[in-house]
Structure 1
Amino acid sequence: MSATVTTTATAPVTPAEDSSPQVRRRRRLSPGRRLPATRLLGPALILALWAAASAAGQLDPGAIPAPWTVLETGVRLWTDGTLPTDILTSLRRAASGFAIGLTAGIALALASGLSRVGEALIDGSVQLNRAIPTLGLIPLFILWLGIGETFKVAIIAIVVYIPIYLNTHSALSGIDHRYVELAEVQGLSRYAFIRRIVVPGALPGFFVGLRLGVTGSWLGLVVLEQINATSGLGYMMFQAQNYGQTDVILVGLVVYGIFGLISDSAVRLIERRVLSWRRTLSS
């Protein structure tokens, strides 16, 4: 009597064929779809808590006036012409310093990032400048340039150019050398190399530096206008401090915050448009 042995071959179970819920369910690791106007949720929450605490009498009106009091003060300052004049003065100073700092930061970063000689001559000096507190240069700049507009614009320009230079130079240094070799094999000219490889590769770092530079221009402006100025939002806040006008100080801070939020949002919008070809977590 012979026994017949039957062997059944079992096919390996692939993860796609596994019926377990853990495998069938697709893991979503990305943050998800971008929500509209999310950057306004934080400020709106702070405003709501501020209003609720003021209405409940939990805040001293002399130290932190209610939001509606600050709004009334802002309307009064705008009506009598004080606030528009100070805003235009501050915008002119910030724009002038930012334009100079932006130009200097880009030019120095390109000269240092595309040439070893330029890097040897420029990078060390910029790193030394970065190590020195910029606001600590104010007394020296007052002696050199006086207390007029020139020294204020110069300080803002320094505050702006440093982050733009550092981030752009870092992006240039981080470009993969294989792209450089490919450009040499393709016989690209210097201009074509910069336009097709250097600029796209450096743009992400440049926009990071640009956002820091925009914020730095407003921070520098706040300090400068409270030291030696006869006009501007900082001067208005300094005068309000002398008279104990907390509501006027808060008006100035709110205006600074609005300008900072708008300028940063504008830079981010431009960044998304220019770098629309990238696929990142934020997009």
Structure 2
Amino acid sequence: MTSTRIPSSTKKYVAIDAELGRTPVASVSDLVPPKTQIKRRQPTWVNFGLRASGPILLVLLWTLSSASGALSPQQFPAPWEVLNALRDLAANGTLWANLSVSLQRAFIGIIIGVSIGFTLGTISGLFRIGDQLIDPTVQIIRTVPVLAVTPLLIIWFGIDELPKIIIIALAAAMPTYINTHLGVRHVDSKLLESGRVHELNTPQLVWTVIVPEALPQMLLGLRIAMTGSLLALVVAELSNTRLGIGFLMTSAQQYFQTDIMVGCILLYAIAGLSADAFVRFLERVFMPYKFHRGVKK
């Protein structure tokens, strides 16, 4: 029987398994499940088609309902009316002038909020003193609704960009912090002990052990943060603003332009779908093993 040479990477896992008290692997084949238990991932076009089927069905029902007269055009415009309104706004430059401002606000707020959430969540998850000092304050801030602090922020900072960015950053920071804190706190203590046995310092321990183990929970927090930030963007732009998709909706409401209002809602929906696709892209980059093959349940 031909023996299989165990590479150095496998030997590392053998050593770690021995330290953790698990049954060590004997060969490379022990790291791979049997072929009968492996299922290949769906082709990309099949996966995309299945994910797009829901939105396409909704648009189809909307079109059929409008064409048959089941939906009143005064209350809910037809898809072609919404597209015509967006095309007119794009032609005169109004759409991009407002959309670019909204995207800029969302981008800056998300970057600030996610950075704060990751940093505080990691510190409070790693250190007991950090948890005692940071977590109670964050939990208090988390329970305060964004709508409750909006008037106060406007009084403090006026109606410029700063209060809007603060609102979006708060909405992004809270779920990022909670999921990062949870992911770091639930890292297997045996893995931490193994890292300390190999004399890893704190930065090395964070990047080689803690972050990879907590990454799925962190990305979940990022996904929730993206959605929450878009909701906060709507809140921030519906009052005391001169530019943005929310301002465009408010102006359309005053003149009963339902086609523009529905078009703005669609833009928010597209932004949310794009944010979710971005997080899925990060998952494919940092956790490719989730998307290539899986073991049958």
Bin for the TM-score computed over the shorter chain: 0.7 to 0.9
Which residue of the partner structure matches residue 47 of structure 2? 36
* Structure 1 Cα separation of the partners of residues 94 and 144 of structure 2: 36
Percent identity of the aligned residues? Answer: 39
Q: Computing the radius of gyration over CA atoms, which structure comes out larger, 1 or 2?
A: 1
Matched, 1:158 2:170: yes
Partner of 1:216: 228
The equivalent position to 1:109 in structure 2, one of 121, 124, 136, is 121
Question: Residue 135 of structure 1: CA displacement?
Answer: 2.2
Structure 2 CA distance for partners of 1:183 and 1:152, relative to 1, 3 Å: same
CA distance in 2, matches of 1:271, 1:33: 16
* Structure 2 residue 56 is the aligned partner of structure 1 residue 49: no
TM-score, normalised with respect to structure 2: 0.82
Residue 151 of structure 2 aligns with an amino acid whose one-letter code is P
1:231-242 pair list within 5 angstroms:
231-242=243-254
**Deviation per residue, 1:17-43 (Å, 9 max, x gap):** xxxxxxxxxx99989746321221111
Q: By how many angstroms is 1:277 displaced?
A: 3.2
Aligned equivalent of 1:186, options 191, 198, 202: 198
1:128 paired residue number:
140
Matches within 5 A, 1:1-283: 33=42, 35-37=46-48, 38-278=50-290
Question: What is the rounded CA distance, in whole Å, between the counterparts of 2:47 and 2:208 in structure 1?
Answer: 33
**In the alignment, residue 268 of structure 1 is paired with which amino acid?**
R
The answer to whether the 8 A contact 2:40-2:294 is kept is: no
* Structure 1 pair 73–33 and aligned structure 2 pair: CA distance change class (3 A): same
Contact 1:135/1:155 (8 A) holds in 2? no
SS in 1 for 2:115: helix
Q: Which amino acid aligns with 1:246?
A: T
C-alpha contact 1:105 1:164 (8 A) present in aligned 2: yes
Distance 2:294 2:221 in 1: 18
The C-alpha deviation readout for 1:12-71, integer Å capped at 9, x for no partner, is xxxxxxxxxxxxxxx999897463212211111000000001111111001111100100
User: What are structure 1's unaligned runs of at least 5 residues?
Assistant: 1-26
Structure 1 runs of 4+ with >3 Å offset: 27-35, 277-282
Distance (Å, rounded) in 1 between the aligned partners of 2:235 and 2:295: 36
CA RMSD of aligned residues (A): 2.1
Alpha-carbon separation, structure 1, partners of 2:72 and 2:205 = 62
Q: Per-residue displacement from partner, 1:174-200 (whole Å, max 9, x unpaired)?
A: 101011111122222222211110110
| Offset at residue 272 of structure 1 (A) | 1.9
Letter in 1 for 2:182: S
Q: TM-score, normalised by structure 1?
A: 0.86
Q: Distance in 2 between matches of 1:221 and 1:59?
A: 29
Aligned to 1:126, the other structure's residue is in SS state helix
8 Å CA contact 1:207–1:267 kept in 2: the answer is yes
**Distance in 2 separating the partners of 1:281 and 1:42:** 27
Alignment gaps of 5+ in structure 2:
1-35
Q: Distance in 2 between matches of 1:43 and 1:148?
A: 36
